[in-house]
């Protein structure tokens, strides 16, 4: 017979346990199981975390399928990485070189992007229209458009707003706070050794309390961590080195017709490795190591479901342990993998969101910001036509001046469209540059802010 104190199996604890209401024991047993079953098969996320860590790692409460995913990674190697990268299906446009490719390193760049945008600043609205009789507007356009100006430029009659998250990455040293110094100490070899001893002690205490399912979860996590330490991972040669003499400017989205875009600018060595080159060399593993992760996957699922069935003090202990784990992560500001990687590689990151009235001015701002000499990178984003060619020439007259004949061959509505979109793109570029300079001057790695 089921008892709230003894559980479904009627197991008596070696240590006295106070009376716990039945609703609490049953509810506590379900929450950790739900957390474990959530987001099954996140191979893309797993590869990203491993790429940032630089070594195989397992949390105390990995999601369902994570341990078996480690086995597949060791067994399939590059093929597993290719499939994991394809899960998110993010495309990248290299604005400077014109190449288009799928993101590498799983969710590594997404983890850093989440950290850069953690403060949820309101988006900066980009300009949408202007009056051409102002002197500043004439000076911006006059060199490219000698024809008489209309009194008012055409305003976009249709708007499909686009959000552009601009992520700037550069190599800078950081002054760590006390919170950051404590986090680095915990992640050191001494800190990890103490952590393993604490886990072992917790497993003994849980057994004395009769929480055998929770003890099994802890021991499985501890063994998985120790096995991961036997697999040595190395960074590829030339890691984070820049083989070009210019900064990166890479645009990314889930597809060509997206409404949310990510622009990565700054140190090319960092950005190119993050988006285009594999940061992780798969270690060689023997059958015993691969077999362990398959077994650990089964043991963890069995332990979690056992706790859900047993309930009683077992469910309460597992819920408390889960709450302590998440509280510990929040105590140090969250985003531990992003913070650790940024600190180790001495990289500074800053993010800001800009809201455009449409895709054309956004692409124009990106093109003007990059100072690219050709527009091959945007061939899949905008359809080439006479007004597009005139617009591109007007974005950067110093590289390729606008031909007056190109404008003369356009209709009046197309000429107004070209003038308006040149203005919106160039003004947006100025705003982005100003915000990037302001962000680089104020960004601090371990300021928790709104995170």
List per-block mean pLDDT (blocks of 10 residues) for the chain, which spans 451 residues. Answer: 51 64 73 70 84 87 86 91 86 92 93 91 82 47 45 55 94 63 68 88 91 93 91 89 89 93 95 93 88 92 87 86 82 76 89 92 92 84 85 70 66 83 89 83 40 36
Check residue 413 and give its pLDDT: 81
Beta strand 248-253 pairing with 260-266: antiparallel
Distance (Å, whole) CA 438 – CA 289? 49
Check residue 91 and give its pLDDT: 94
Query: In the beta sheet, which residues pair with residue 352?
Result: 166
Structural tokens at position 239: 């890691």
- Please, which residues have CB within 8 angstroms of residue 154's CB and are 6 or more apart in sequence? 413, 416, 417, 419, 420
Report the largest interatomic distance among the alpha carbons of the chain, rounded to a whole angstrom: 93
Distance (Å, whole) CA 125 – CA 136? 20
Check residue 17 and give its pLDDT: 63
Q: How many CB atoms lie within 10 A of CB 412?
A: 10
Q: How many CB atoms lie within 10 A of CB 10?
A: 12
- Integer angstrom CA distances of residue 12 from 15, 22, 126, 313: 9, 16, 67, 10
Helices and strands: H and E segment counts in the chain: 17, 7
Residues 189-239: tens digit of each pLDDT: 787 888 899 999 999 999 998 889 999 999 999 999 999 988 888 899 999
Residue 267 DSSP symbol: -
Check residue 7 and give its pLDDT: 52
Distance (Å, whole) CA 287 – CA 71? 10
Check residue 43 and give its pLDDT: 85
Check residue 186 and give its pLDDT: 66
For helices 287-310 and 312-331, give the axis angle rounded to 10 degrees: 120
Helix, strand, coil percentages (3-state) for the chain, rounded to 5, are 50, 10, 35
Is the whole-model pTM more than 0.85?
A: no
Query: In the beta sheet, which residues pair with residue 167?
Result: 264, 351
- C-alpha Rg value of the chain to the nearest Å: 28
């Amino acid at each position: 017979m089921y008892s709230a104190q003894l559980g479904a199996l009627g197991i008596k604890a070696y240590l006295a346990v106070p009376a716990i209401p039945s609703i609490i024991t049953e509810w506590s047993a379900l929450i950790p199981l739900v957390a474990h079953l959530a987001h099954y098969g996140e191979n893309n996320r797993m590869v990203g975390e491993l790429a940032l860590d630089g070594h195989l790692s397992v949390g105390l409460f990995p999601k369902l399928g994570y341990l078996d995913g480690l086995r597949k990674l060791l067994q399939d190697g590059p093929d597993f990485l290719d499939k994991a990268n394809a899960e998110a299906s993010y495309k990248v446009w290299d604005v400077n070189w014109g190449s288009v490719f799928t993101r590498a390193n799983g969710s590594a760049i997404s983890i850093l992007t989440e950290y850069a945008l953690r403060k949820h600043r309101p988006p900066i609205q980009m300009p949408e229209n202007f009056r051409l009789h102002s002197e500043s507007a004439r000076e911006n356009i006059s060199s490219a458009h000698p024809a008489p100006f209309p009194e008012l430029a055409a305003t976009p009659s249709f708007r499909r707003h686009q959000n552009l998250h601009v992520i700037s990455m550069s190599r800078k040293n950081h002054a760590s706070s006390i919170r950051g110094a404590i986090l680095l100490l915990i992640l050191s070899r001494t800190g990890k050794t103490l952590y393993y001893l604490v886990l072992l002690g917790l497993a003994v205490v849980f057994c004395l309390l009769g929480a055998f399912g929770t003890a099994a979860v802890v021991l499985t996590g501890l063994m998985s961590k120790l096995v991961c330490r036997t697999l040595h991972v190395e960074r590829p040669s030339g890691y984070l080195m820049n083989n070009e003499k210019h900064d990166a400017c890479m645009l990314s989205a889930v597809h060509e017709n997206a409404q949310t875009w990510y622009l990565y600018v700054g140190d090319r060595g960092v950005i190119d490795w993050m988006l285009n080159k594999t940061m992780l060399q798969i270690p060689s593993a023997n059958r015993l190591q691969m077999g362990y992760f398959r077994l650990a996957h089964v043991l963890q699922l069995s332990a979690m479901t056992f706790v859900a069935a047993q309930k009683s003090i077992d469910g309460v202990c597992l819920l408390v342990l889960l709450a302590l784990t998440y509280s510990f992560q929040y105590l140090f500001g969250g985003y531990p993998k992003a913070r650790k990687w940024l600190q180790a590689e001495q990289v500074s990151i800053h993010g800001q969101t800009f809201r455009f009235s449409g895709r054309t001015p956004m692409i124009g701002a990106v093109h003007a910001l990059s100072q690219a000499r050709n527009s091959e990178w945007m061939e899949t984003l905008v359809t080439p036509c006479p007004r597009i060619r005139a617009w591109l020439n007007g974005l950067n007259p110093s590289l390729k001046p606008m031909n007056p004949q190109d404008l003369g061959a356009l209709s009046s509505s197309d000429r107004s469209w070209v003038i308006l979109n040149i203005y919106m793109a160039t003004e947006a570029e100025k705003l982005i540059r100003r915000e990037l300079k302001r962000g680089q001057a104020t960004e601090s790695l371990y300021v928790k802010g709104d995170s």
